[in-house]
């Protein structure tokens, strides 16, 4: 089946179903480069840079508190610039998911103190 053949079926999906399709596609090597993956039992199933335990939400949070992309590359030697670009693309596509993971982590940290 080609994308052209599949397009009418995709467009007929509900918004919720379309979101599920995007989620399903993003679990593989959907984004350019090493990609983003979710593995049950690894980092709580959070989206990670493929082949690592570096979470997308962790990179987003580090960037928000002032780490530059260069800082992230120095702090995480396995990362490439493409990995960071993939993380930003994933975070943009799944902003609600990333926000929820950041909030959950902050809540855990607050309770620990």
Q: What is the pLDDT along the chain (113 residues), one digit of tens a residue?
A: 788 888 899 889 888 888 777 766 655 544 444 589 998 899 999 999 999 999 999 999 999 999 999 999 999 999 999 999 999 999 998 999 999 999 998 888 778 77
- Predicted TM-score (pTM) of the model is 0.69
Mutual orientation of helices 56-64 and 81-93 as an angle, nearest 10°? 90
The string of DSSP codes covering 5-43 is HHHHHHHHS-HHHHHHHHHHHHTSS-SSTT-EE--TTSG
- List the beta bridge partners of residue 48: 37, 55
* Domains of the chain with bracketed CATH: 33-112 (1.10.10.10)
Range list of β-strands (E), 31-97: 36-37, 48-49
């Amino acid at each position: 089946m080609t994308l052209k053949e599949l397009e009418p079926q995709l467009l007929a999906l509900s918004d919720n179903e379309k979101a599920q399709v995007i989620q399903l596609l993003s679990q593989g090597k959907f984004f350019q480069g090493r990609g983003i993956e979710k593995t049950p039992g690894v980092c709580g199933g959070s989206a990670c840079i493929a082949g690592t335990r570096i979470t997308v939400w962790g990179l987003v949070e580090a960037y928000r508190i002032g780490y530059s992309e260069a800082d992230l590359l120095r702090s995480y030697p396995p990362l490439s610039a493409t990995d960071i670009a993939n993380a930003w693309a994933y975070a943009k596509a799944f902003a609600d998911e990333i926000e929820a993971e950041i909030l959950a982590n902050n809540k855990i940290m607050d309770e620990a103190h």
